[in-house]
Amino acid sequence: MPLKNILSPFRAWKYLFKNPVTIRDPLNDRPGAARYRGFHQNDAQKCIGCGTCETICQNGAIDMVPVDGYEGGKDIKTKDGDSGLRPRIDYGRCCWCALCVDVCMTGSLTMSNAYTWADADADAFRFIPGVEKKDWDDAELGYRRPEGHTLTLHDRVPMGELESEKRIDNFSEIVAGYTVEQAKLEADRCVECGLCISTCPAHMSIPQYIKAVRDGDYEAGLKLLYETNPFSHVCGRVCTHKCETACASRHEGDPIAIRWLKRHIMDQVPYERYTKILGKPKKATGKTVAIVGSGPAGLTAAFDLARMGHKVTVFEALKKPGGMPRYGIPEYRMPYDMLDRDIGVIEAMGVEIKCNTRIGKDIQMDDLKKDYDATVLAIGLHLGRSTRIPGSDHKDVGKAVDLLREITDGKKIKVPKKAVVIGGGNVAMDIARSIARLQKQKYGKVDMIVSALEDLEHFLADPDEVKECGEEGIEILDARGPQEIMVDGKGKMIGLRTWAVKSIFDAKGRFAPSYDEDDEQIHKADQVIEAIGQASDISLLGEDLTEALEWNRGRMQVDDAGRTSQDWLWSGGDCVKGPDVIHAVEDGHRIADSIQAALKKKRAKV
């Protein structure tokens, strides 16, 4: 071997004590090709901070970092579906593979065709594209993800359900649920960004339990669900699934079917395994808690408190526990045997539920204050509101919540041949569809109208409910305002008179509907059902306690922990926040933690 070859490696030693530099070469500088993978660009306003780019980078060249304000434009304001983080690229690690661009859920991340950058500061080559201003920010050339080229499936995996003609004359559950194969395909679409967690009121471990579906580890999935939600059978069917509005996948196609994957986990684990997986409560503390109302808020608090070792007694005025999910949601949406499973697990933790026990009649609130260390009021919204239009006091005008409760109880109700429901929320859809089923059973046809103030684009009801109403032959009249329930000279109902709605709110955003009186319609009916809102029955409180409590527009005023102005009484759920199961679950957890802290504080003083 020639001597120069032997000595060649040692020649580099002369550069040992010199700083490495990049030399600018303006004479020979040339732009990269039109689709060259150069330095990154990012539309920081379009970016949602999902971190998918960080996850896919095999070189660890991307870190998600918080950004409050930046040079390149407006401040980033964190909102649902946006973590407030933005990717920082480390060009000491980047290999320009562009996988981060290919996987970007919003298409905000791209690569310019710029490839020359000289700087004596090594730290300069680690920066936040779109936040820290660079010369190539506005470069039009460079690598963009090719149209139609994605690394994830766009469309949600379809799920079996009963066709309208097979479901309209019965209360069988409509949705079949995912098979194992379908669920795994749907779970594969999840990029585990975690944006859904902050949007979920109960902050469920959504990416983790979806991963459990993907791995086929259903017992681990069930354990994750019970860490934050003892009503996962219920929420797996009727949750408002706001988490899906934050899902990164919705920017490319359909959001992940988070609600249905939750249900899938619950359906796959044998019921007799639930309590074995969850384990036993802690050692008894000797403390007692009374809970009024057996809906999701009350029973979630009961579940948590019982697992903490406290003795919990739940008082329910109706003959079965479950609150509004049992007496306000039809069985074709929420099978009551699945609700019973959720409640059964809570009872297995040692919670005692006393049904047919009405507070204010069988037991007074003062008795609860005296006999228990803490009391929770979770009484739901079991009273319907009236439109108070002329004729609304007619005997054939009913309240949706009353009728739904009677149907659940199996009571025989008068089935109208022609009916009109006033309202555009889920309760309006539920009662319309329930009565439609009874009409089909009794008369062989559906003759049902839903009349709502809102136009279809602003309906309060879930889009699925509105769609299924149409499939079941229910006519929906949007932007119609009720004016009078018409009655003939003999006192017989004729129908509902409505006017077209011009606007619902005034210039200051206050509820003040205005109508086009020239656009009038008469909707013939022998029954009108009001579904315009609900209220709590607070008569159980008694005059003194009602006067002592603080109120906020008819609802009980509580602090951030769910404690009322009376230090022995907590409240939560629908009666505080309005109808929503997952928010009620969140309230139950918060109340339980607050009571636990209060009981510990009381013990410390003793």
pLDDT in tens, 524-564: 999 999 999 999 999 999 999 999 999 988 889 999 999 99
**Measuring CA to CA, which residue among 65, 42, 38, 39 is closest to residue 54?**
65
∠ at Cα 307 (565, 588), nearest 5°? 35
Say yes or no: do domains 284-381+542-605 and 383-533 share a fold: yes
Cβ–Cβ < 8 Å for 212, 180 = no
Q: What is the mean pLDDT of residues 491-502?
A: 97
Q: At what angle do helices 336-348 and 296-307 cross, to 10 degrees?
A: 30
The upper half-sphere exposure of residue 97, i.e. CA atoms within 13 Å in the direction of its Cβ, equals: 14
Query: Is the pLDDT confidence value at 420 over 70?
Result: yes
Where is pLDDT greater, at 457 or 22?
457
Taking residues 393-414, what's their average pLDDT?
A: 96
What are the structural domain ranges in the chain?
A: 31-151, 169-276, 284-381+542-605, 383-533
pLDDT at 196: 95
Is 322 in a helix, a strand, or coil? coil
Mean pLDDT of the chain: 93
With b for 16 or more beta-carbon neighbours within 10 A and e for fewer, the 536-555 pattern comes to bebebbeeebeeebeeeeeb
**Rounded (5°) CA angle 71-75-80:** 145
Residue 493, pLDDT above cutoff 50: yes
Q: Which of 54, 86, 89, 90 is nearest to 73 (CA)?
A: 86
Lowest mean pLDDT among 25-34, 379-388, 501-510, 521-530: 25-34
Is it the case that residue 22 has pLDDT exceeding 60?
A: no
Task: Say whether pLDDT at 393 is over 60.
Answer: yes
Stretch 240-263: mean pLDDT, rounded? Answer: 95
Q: How far is CA 389 from each of CA 394, 397, 429, 468, rounded to the nearest angstrom?
A: 11, 11, 21, 29
From 3.50.50.60, 3.40.50.620, 3.30.70.1520, 3.40.47.10, which CATH number describes the 284-381+542-605 domain?
3.50.50.60
What pLDDT score does 150 carry? 81
DSSP 554: T
What is the model's pLDDT at position 142?
A: 96
Encode 468-522 in three state secondary structure: HHHHCCCEEECCEEEEEEEECCCCCEEEEEEEEEEEEECCCCCEEEEEEEEEEEE
* pLDDT greater than 90 at residue 4: no
Segment 162-219, tens digit of pLDDT: 999 999 999 999 999 999 999 999 999 999 999 999 999 999 999 999 999 999 999 9
**What is the reported pLDDT for 147?**
86
Per-residue pLDDT averaged across 327-337, rounded? 96
Given pLDDT bands bounded at 50, 70 and 90, which one contains residue 404? very high
- Look at residue 225 in the predicted model and tell me its pLDDT: 98
Residue count (the chain): 606
136-146 pLDDT, tens digit per residue, is 999 999 999 99
Assign 20 a pLDDT band (cuts: 50, 70, 90): low
Angle at 317 between CA 311 and CA 319, to 5 degrees: 100
- Amino acid (1-letter code) at residue 303: F
- List the structure tokens of 550: 């603080």
Mean pLDDT, range 31-58, rounded to an integer = 94
| Class of residue 53 by CB neighbours under 10 A (exposed 0-12, middle 13-18, buried 19+) | buried
Q: Does domain 31-151 have CATH number 3.40.50.720?
A: no
Domain 383-533 in this protein, CATH class: alpha beta
| Predicted local distance difference test score (pLDDT) of residue 604 | 67
Q: Please report which residue ranges of 314-358 form alpha helices under DSSP H.
A: 324-327, 336-348
Q: What is the CATH number of domain 169-276?
A: 1.10.1060.10
**In the predicted model, what is the mean pLDDT of residues 455-464?**
92
pLDDT band at 72 (very low <50, low <70, confident <90, very high): very low
Per-residue pLDDT band at 73 (split at 50, 70, 90): very low
pLDDT band at 69 (very low <50, low <70, confident <90, very high): low
- Is the pLDDT at 120 greater than 60? The verdict is yes
